[in-house]
Each structure stands twice: as structure tokens, then as C-alpha cells.
Amino acid sequence: MPQKTLLKGRVLSFLESPFATEPTRATNTHEAVLIEDGKIKALGSIAKLSQEHPEAQDVEYGQHLIMAGFVDPHVHYPQTAMIASWGKRLIDWLNTYTFPEEMKFGDPRYASEIANRYLDLTASHGTTTMCSFCTIHPESVDAFFEAAQLRGQRVVAGKTCMDRNAPEGLRDTAQTAYNQSQSLLEKWHGVNRLSYAITPRFSPTSTPEQLEAMGALWAKYPQCLMQTHLCEQTDEIEWVRSLFPNARDYLDTYEQFGLLGGNGLYGHVIHLETRERERLREVGAALIHCPTSNTFIGSGLFELDDLMRQGHRIGLATDTGGGSSFSMLRTMATAYEIGQLQGTALHPAQLLWLGTVGSAQSLRMDDCIGNIAPGLEADLVVLDLASTPDIAQREATAEDLWEAVFPTIMMGDDRAVADVWIGGNRVSRKP
């Protein structure tokens, strides 16, 4: 007999984008959600679902909010141990903190330790899917996929490719980058819930020959995602101009080598020129907003409202460890604050959508994750909207769900995560 579990609480699902309609009309709430064999079977009233499925095991969450697990479309799991490192602009930060840490990932034991630590930490914050850069070492990719596979988790990852402007020991070549990426792709892509992303770190650390090789690999496997960085900091853009004097702009350093497409994920994209905006929208590429990273490293303010109005696909990401938190709640809070600085007050429904459906769409995975709807995979987070005294006293006076959830978005952390379900299995150890 199929295994069935009935989760009872306030179940939040999205009917459409809250950026495309009045935000409160974009959602629906239910009393319960039924999980069967790792997927969402149904949602509705407790009475109806209990009557139709009397054999289901009940899990009672009271007034907790049950929603899709958070989806984080731009992370660096190898930077877990050096998160929140002080100071520096991007290039100095990479040389001072990131590259020395990434040197360690040729050791399979260390890579496995950090991969498991990262997935434990993110699960405690309610994140159920992420897209991660690894290091140049194939061992780092194997470790991450092996750890996720043991958890039954849907993740995306790829070997980071760099053949210049990086320390010795962190450089490959155009040929080895192609060969190793292809081997890892063929080994892992489509196995269980795992997907491979072709991963040139960014133009300054790849020669034209390596970018061309990555473009050729993507052309061979167009079903895969491709992830990189674009227009993060102004001094980075000037560096790119000096390295690619014939390119029309930063995006052209990817476009001319076949690294622009609808399955592309471009992190940060803060300082885009008009042509870059238009080309990214034309091809349907995903723009990944990394608010805590952008403020922590001093990169600038992502123009979410303008880009959304122009019709871009946008995901929301922590960018750990450039981002200063593993928490998607903290990431939403910073996105809200950046919006305020730009004169746009993001509604709680819009923030939650960005961290679930929007991010799933950026990964081209909204047909299986990112929402609560029949047929989707049962990756869920259960939020306690009164997890701390300061949040509870504000939630107690809330007049609707959105007033109740907003304090948790702004002040919540892992204490707000009452439970987590991945692939229909309960992974939280909280009482």
C-alpha cells in the first residue's frame, strides 16, 4: 500500500506570480496537504482529506505555516567554512579567503565533510534545493552529489572551471575543464534527483579558449543548466573590459562563446547595460538576485522592480559564502530592505514566491518543486510564525496571514523552521 501522510496546518500555495497580479490574489491557503510516495497527492480541508484517506498518518502542525521548501539557485558550498569573512572587495575577497579555502577540496574527505555540513545547515534553515558551484576538483562535485543522493535531495551542481587569474592548484585547462565536466555530467546528470550545471566561474578566470570549450560542451548538452557570474561589481567590469577589449560588454564575453541561453543562470547582474538587459530577456535567461552578498561585499543594489517589469525570470539566492547567511528568510529580509531603498515595498507574498516558485523557475524546475500542488515533489518547510518572543508579540496582533508571516521574514532564523520534508521524508529532528 502506498505510504500516505497528512500534514495539518496552514498550507500556502501559489496560483500565479504575485508580481503579475495583486499579491494576495496570487495565493491560496488550505487546512491540510496529503503526501504520497514522495509527492503532493492533494490539498484541501482536513475533513475531506481525512475522510478520503483514512489510512494516512496524521502530522499536526496547528497554526504553523506549511509551504514549499526554499529553493536557492546560486550558492558556493565550498565556501561554507569561510562564510562571514571580514571586509574586502570581490577580487581581494576571492584571493584572501575563497581561493585558499577551495584549495582544500582536492581531498575527498574534506570535500565530503563540508558537503554534508552544508546540507545539514541549509536543511535546518528550510532550504530543500540549491544550485551550487563546486571547485575545480572533480572530488568536490562527487562529494556534493553523494551527500545529496543519500538525503534524496534535488540539487544542481557543477565543477567550477578556471584556467587563469587563480592560484596554482586552482587552475585547470580548456581541455581538462571540458573533459572533466563532461565526465561528471555523464556520471551524475539525471541520476535520482541530481542535475549537472556547466560552470565557468566568470570571464576573468577563464581564457577565451576555455570559454569556447564550455560553450561547445553546453551546445552538446543543451538540456543542462549553465551557471556563472555577471556584472557583480564595477571594478570587476573594468577588469573584464581590459581582458576582453573587443567585447561589446560583459555579457558579450559569454555570448560570443556560446554561453548565453535560456538555460543560463547569471548571478548578481547588478550593473547591466541596456543591451545586456535586452539580450538576457530575449533568450529567457535567469537573473539571480543575491541581496545579502551584494550588501556584504558592497557590490550594489539589484534593480528587482525594473527587471521584473521588463519581463525577466528572476530567482533569489543566498550566494553563500559571499552571502552572509545560509537562511533564505534572511535573504528575503535583505531583498525587502533593498527594495525599500529603491522605493519599492515588496509584499510578503512576493518575497516568499521569489524564494520558492521564482527560484524554481530560474532552475527550470517549477514543474517538480517550488510550490504545493498535486503532482509536485514533496519538499516542504514548516514555519513557526511565533518562534521567538519578539516575533510572537508582533504575530499575536496580526490581522491576516501576511501580517503574521512578515515578522518571521524580517526577524526569523533557523528557530522559525519547525520541520522540513525532503522527497516526502521528514528530515527535521526538532520536537
- Side-chain-facing half-sphere of 294: CA atoms under 13 Å: 29
- pLDDT tens for the 431 residues of the chain, in order: 568 999 999 999 999 999 999 999 999 999 999 999 999 999 999 999 999 999 999 999 999 999 999 999 999 999 999 998 887 777 787 888 888 899 999 999 999 999 999 999 999 999 999 999 999 999 999 999 999 999 999 999 999 999 999 999 999 999 999 999 999 999 999 999 999 999 999 999 999 999 999 999 999 999 999 999 999 999 999 999 999 999 999 999 999 999 999 999 999 999 999 999 999 999 999 999 999 999 998 999 999 999 999 999 999 999 998 889 999 999 999 999 999 999 999 999 999 999 999 999 999 999 999 999 999 999 999 999 999 999 999 999 999 999 999 999 999 999 999 999 999 999 976 65
Residues paired with residue 8 on neighbouring β-strands, in sequence order:
32, 60
Q: How is residue 162 written as a grid cell? A: 578556471
DSSP letter for 104, please.
G
User: For the domain bounded by 4-69+370-426, which CATH number is listed?
Assistant: 2.30.40.10
Where do the domains of the chain lie? 4-69+370-426, 71-362
Question: How far apart, in whole angstroms, are the C-alpha atoms of residue 171 and residue 200?
Answer: 12
Report in angstroms the alpha-carbon separations of 37 from 1, 5, 40, 80, 147.
Answer: 10, 9, 8, 32, 21
- Side-chain-facing half-sphere of 171: CA atoms under 13 Å: 12
Q: Nearest 5°: CA angle at 293, between 406 and 127?
A: 55
Q: How is residue 392 written as a grid cell? A: 510572537
Q: How is residue 257 written as a grid cell? A: 562563446
Rounded to two decimals, the pTM is 0.97
Architecture of the CATH domain 71-362: Alpha-Beta Barrel (3.20)
